[in-house]
Amino acid sequence: MSTKEHDSELLGAYVLGTLDEQEVRTVDEHMASCQKCRDELDGLRDMESALGEVPPEAFLDGPPEGGDLLLQRTLRQVRSERAGQTLRRRAVLGAVAAVAAAAVLGGGVLIGQNTGERTHEATPPAPSVAATVPPAQPGGMKVVEGRSASTGSEMRLRVTPAVDWIRLNVSAMGIPVGERCRVVVVAKDGSREIAGSWLVADEKKGANLDGSAAVPLDDVDKVVIENDQGKEYVSVEV
């Protein structure tokens, strides 16, 4: 994606965290001047959140007829119910997941963030799929906070486990304006995975972003905020 191009597939890879650092930087620069891409990115993140709340077996029946229109209507409904109507929102997540799986993943491959060996082949699509309330989410959500004495930067982290991966919500403050930062999940074996990135616009107000990583919660050692040159601003143990 150049600074003038609009590439939906690249935005999807950006949300899933499968881009390398140079590609992430390119997308960040493009979105800074492209409202269309920022709007589409918000929609993709809504879709990713909906997919994360549905068990893998919900994907196996494939999308219903008229899936594109159903996806658009359902996403609008999910967004309109963010003000606390949790039970009604869960009732439509099954339909979101089935349609979004086909729209984003190209017809039947269930993915996390870096798919690798974590993909599962789906059965042929059924004529329709019913919207059902998914089972309760797995327990074990963690909320941790940390502050670096050397940089003065602060982080508040919420980690929600899913099946073999995690969702993150990160609030960061005290990072200089203009820094290109990323959220890095460090596993106990030392491997690292970028869960999200952003360009710092306000040091005092800070930033809040969502991300995900294909690392089971029990395998996570810590979460780090660093700039694109590898300078660490703050980290918290999980």
Average pLDDT over residues 194-201: 94
What value does the mean pLDDT of the chain take? 72
pTM above 0.85? no
Tens of pLDDT, residues 10-63: 777 776 776 777 777 787 787 778 888 887 777 777 776 655 555 544 444 455
User: Could you give the CA distance from residue 208 to residue 198 in angstroms, rounded to a whole number?
Assistant: 10
Pairing state between β 180-187 and 166-173: unpaired
User: Residue 144: which pLDDT band, with cuts at 50, 70 and 90?
Assistant: very high
Write out the residue limits of the CATH 2.60.40.770 domain(s) in the chain: 142-237
Lowest-pLDDT range of 3-12, 143-152, 175-184, 224-233: 3-12
Question: Residue 19, Cβ neighbours under 10 Å: how many?
Answer: 19
Beta strands in 126-218 (DSSP E): 142-147, 154-161, 166-173, 180-187, 192-199, 207-213
CATH class of 142-237: mainly beta
Please choose, from the candidates 168, 151, 171, 172, the residue with its C-alpha nearest in 3D space to the C-alpha of residue 159. Answer: 168
Sequence-distant (≥ 6) Cβ neighbours of residue 3 within 8 angstroms = 29, 30, 33
In the structure encoding, which two tokens stand for residue 223, read together? 């979460």
Are the beta carbons of 141 and 148 closer than 8 angstroms? Answer: no
Q: Which of these, 65, 121, 135, lies nearest to 95 by C-alpha position?
A: 65
Report the pLDDT value the prediction gives residue 13, as an integer from 0 to 100: 72
Q: Model confidence over 59-118: pLDDT tens digits?
A: 444 555 555 555 556 556 555 554 444 444 444 444 444 444 444 444 333 333 343 344
Specify the DSSP class assigned to residue 156: E
